Amino acid sequence: MMRKCGVWICVVIAAVVAIGFYYRYDPSHTLWTPKCVMLGLTGYKCPGCGTQRMFYHLLHGHFLTAISYNYFAALLTPYLFILATTYLAPQSGYTQWVRRHLATKWAAYSYGILFILWWFLRNLLGL
């Protein structure tokens, strides 16, 4: 049990550092934030393009701007947040319900398929 707790503490610390970083630095105006290799080499956006800028604007309360950078990541973020909090929270009826209904292999397959569809659609439709 102690080992699992230590891992979660590291995850929470990393999340707090990342949130602080993206709150302070705008990836659009910072040269040392990671840039998309696929976009640089091919001119096509990867499924994650715009995610850093999306987080920056989410943290500053600019929700519509944030969503415009990466629609799929904006929809996926609350889902991942809910899953993460259920694994950090003590066992309850709610956490068991979430794990039983949202943390299934079918949910993961569905998001995988949506991820691939998003990859193609964003380049075909210019999203």
Least confident of 50-54, 64-68, 86-90, 93-97: 86-90
The amino acid present at 76, given as its one-letter code, is: L
pLDDT tens-digit series, residues 88-113: 766 777 777 877 777 788 888 988 89
